[in-house]
């Protein structure tokens, strides 16, 4: 016989026949601990099982309060305890009372083994997510990281707490933040901490979809729906079934697509373009925007009813200029990561460079900082990265409140051009190899080379 793999379960049930049945049904998957009354159950609770399965009406009193009191005691000692309650016929109200006291779920006798296994599987998934969240909290306290997010500043600590609270739920989330702050990373963190974490995470940059194709991309299309639709194709909603759909820059959706999105949120059903079949979809929606959607609602360019649907849980992502010492933390992280990626020596930042980085306004936020550090990694030649290695936009700012000689867009263009030139030269003039090195596809590098005359 193979050893149990799912952990330990404590069953407290006074009916010896049912106790034997439950123990037999679960013994191959769980290490089963058994108790016939509340007092025995209290003693075995000290071993901290992974899941608790309690009847409500237990000896010695034989009253429903016996099981409810046992539940309360377990939850007081272990607030995250995962407790499933068994109830008899006519005890539904008491089972709902158990849910109010912190029980994870309940089911009525007689026991259906298939239903029980589904409930226990969900209970164990909850247990796993709670354990992962505890690990993430501990990690965030120690090194300032939270999944793929990095930061020790008070605004980021608040953000981490908000993610921890909202992730285990199925709530619709709207992430608001300036361009380059890492909104997709926040969406990934929410998905990773949710019960849907093993299901698809489908990200769509809505602003990159041509208006004429946005509806078909999101909702799919049937064969012959439009010129060029030679076969049927599922949309992003169907691809995200069971998981999370992330719509970035949601404010750019056209009015027609907004209406169809609202219907999908309300009915959890979609219809493909050119199709007549209603398709049920199970998804969690996370949206993001760098615009003031309330202002767009006032202007009439964004539906008010859709705004309230997607704004169930708003999360604000702080700009880099509000994050203090996180600037240096991020710069050193990117320095190490990019030096390894580009096979360059790890050079330290000079004190004057650190001062320049911390005094910069970072209108492009974390993305701009990463680009600047990448340029420093590729072009610096001394033993350390000096002020002369900085792009002009940072070198020529005399103070935190000064004005850069270049606009942000010009500074980014200057960086992109130099990075392309250097990488193409390093790859012997072969643009395809340069594209792979820079994680660009063929169309992107062709566009950039045309843009900068390379």
Q: Do 169 and 295 reside in the same domain of the chain?
A: yes
By the 8 A CB rule, do 364 and 319 touch?
no
For 200, the domain range is: 154-316
| CATH number of the domain enclosing 75 | 3.40.50.2300
**Does some domain include residue 138?**
no
How far apart CA 37 and CA 121 sit, in angstroms, is 25
112 in a structural domain: yes
Beta strands 244-248; 269-271: pairing state? unpaired
Q: Evaluate whether residue 329 is within a structural domain.
A: yes
- Which of 131, 166, 194 corresponds to the end of one domain? 131
**Residue 304 and residue 268 in one domain:** yes
Residue 397's pLDDT band (cuts 50, 70, 90) = low
| CATH code for the domain of 298 | 3.40.50.300
Instruction: Clarify whether residues 62 and 112 are in a common domain.
Output: yes
- The larger pLDDT score, comparing residue 250 to residue 383, is at 250
**Between residues 97 and 443, which one has the greater pLDDT?**
97
Q: Are residues 33 and 94 in the same domain?
A: yes
- Examine residue 386 and state whether it is found in any structural domain, yes or no: yes
Is the pLDDT at 146 greater than 70, yes or no?
A: no
Same domain, 335 and 402: yes
Residue of 399, 375, 401 lying closest to 388 (CA atoms): 375
Question: Could you report the per-residue pLDDT of 292-301, keeping only the tens digit for each?
Answer: 999 999 999 9
Could you write out the three-class secondary structure of 349-407? ECHHHHHHHHHCCCCCHHHHHHHHHHHHHHHCCCCCECHHHCCHHHHCCCCCCCCCCCC
Distance (Å, whole) CA 388 – CA 399: 16
* 309 plus 172 within the same structural domain: yes
Three-state DSSP state, 324: coil
Q: Determine, yes or no, domain membership for 145.
A: no
Identify the helix (H) or strand (E) that includes residue 316. strand 313-316
Residue 400 pLDDT greater than 50, yes or no:
no
Residue pair 359/353 in contact by the 8 Å Cβ criterion: no
Same domain membership, residue 162 and residue 311:
yes
Domain end position, chosen among 131, 164, 198: 131
Task: Indicate the residue among 286, 316, 346 that finishes a domain.
Answer: 316
CA distance 387 to 395: 7
- State the pLDDT confidence band at 427, using cuts at 50, 70 and 90: confident
Mean pLDDT, rounded, of the chain: 85
**Residue 344 maps to which CATH number?**
1.10.8.60
Q: Is residue 162 part of a domain?
A: yes
Q: Are 340 and 296 in contact (CB under 8 A)?
A: no
Answer whether 366's CB lies under 8 Å from 181's CB. Answer: yes
In whole angstroms, give the CA distance from residue 135 to residue 141. Answer: 10
Q: Are residues 173 and 309 in the same domain?
A: yes
Q: Is residue 418 part of a domain?
A: yes
Whether 2 maps to a domain, the answer reads no
pLDDT of residue 264: 93
Looking at the structure, do residues 199 and 173 belong to the same domain, yes or no? Answer: yes
Confidence of residue 365 (pLDDT cuts 50, 70, 90): very high
Minimum mean pLDDT range among 90-94, 169-173, 203-207: 90-94
pLDDT at res. 403: 42
**Whether 307 and 265 share a structural domain:** yes
Task: Mark whether 299 and 341 lie in a shared domain.
Answer: no
Claim to verify: residue 56 and residue 168 sit in the same structural domain = no
Q: What is the pLDDT of residue 392?
A: 81
Please state, in angstroms and rounded to a whole number, the distance separating the CA atoms of residues 65 and 71: 10
Domain tally for the chain? 3
């Amino acid at each position: 016989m193979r050893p149990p793999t799912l952990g330990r379960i404590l069953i407290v049930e006074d009916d010896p026949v049912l106790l034997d049945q439950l123990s037999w049904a679960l013994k191959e998957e769980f290490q089963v601990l058994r108790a016939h009354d509340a007092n025995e159950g209290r003693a075995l609770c000290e071993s901290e099982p992974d899941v608790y399965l309690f009847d409500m009406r237990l000896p010695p009193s034989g009253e429903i309060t016996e099981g409810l009191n046992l539940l309360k005691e377990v939850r007081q000692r272990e607030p995250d305890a995962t407790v499933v309650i068994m109830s008899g016929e006519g005890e539904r109200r008491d089972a709902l009372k158990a849910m109010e006291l912190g029980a994870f779920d309940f089911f009525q006798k007689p026991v259906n083994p298939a239903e029980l296994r589904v409930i226990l599987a969900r209970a164990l998934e909850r247990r796993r997510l709670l354990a992962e969240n505890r690990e993430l909290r501990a990690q965030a306290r120690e090194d300032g990281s939270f999944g793929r997010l990095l930061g020790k500043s008070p605004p980021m600590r608040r953000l981490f707490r908000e993610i921890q609270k909202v992730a285990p739920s199925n709530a619709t989330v709207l992430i608001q933040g300036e361009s380059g702050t890492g909104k997709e990373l926040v969406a990934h963190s929410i998905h990773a901490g949710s019960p849907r974490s093993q299901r698809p995470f489908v990200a769509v940059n809505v602003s990159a979809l041509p208006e004429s194709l946005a509806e078909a991309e999101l909702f799919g299309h049937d064969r012959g729906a439009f010129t060029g639709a030679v076969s049927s194709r599922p949309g992003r909603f169907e691809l995200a079934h069971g998981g999370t759909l992330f719509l970035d820059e949601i404010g750019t959706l056209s009015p027609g697509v907004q209406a169809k999105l609202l219907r999908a949120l309300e009915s959890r059903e979609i219809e493909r373009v050119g199709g007549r079949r209603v398709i049920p979809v199970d998804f969690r929606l996370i949206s993001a925007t760098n615009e003031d959607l309330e202002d767009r609602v006032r202007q009439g360019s964004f539906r008010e009813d859709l705004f309230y649907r997607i704004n169930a849980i708003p999360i604000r992502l702080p700009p880099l200029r509000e994050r203090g010492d996180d600037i240096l933390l991020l710069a050193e992280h990117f320095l190490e990561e990019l030096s390894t990626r580009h096979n360059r020596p790890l050079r330290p930042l000079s004190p004057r460079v650190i001062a320049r980085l911390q005094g910069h306004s970072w209108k492009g936020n974390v993305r701009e900082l990463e680009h600047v550090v990448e340029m420093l990694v590729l072009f610096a030649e001394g033993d350390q990265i000096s002020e002369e290695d900085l792009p002009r936009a940072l070198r020529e700012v005399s103070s935190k409140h000064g004005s850069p000689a270049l606009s942000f867009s010009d500074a980014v263009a200057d960086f992109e051009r130099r990075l392309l030139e250097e990488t193409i030269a390093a790859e012997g003039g072969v643009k395809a190899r340069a594209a792979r090195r820079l994680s660009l596809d063929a169309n992107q590098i062709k566009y950039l080379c045309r843009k900068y005359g390379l």
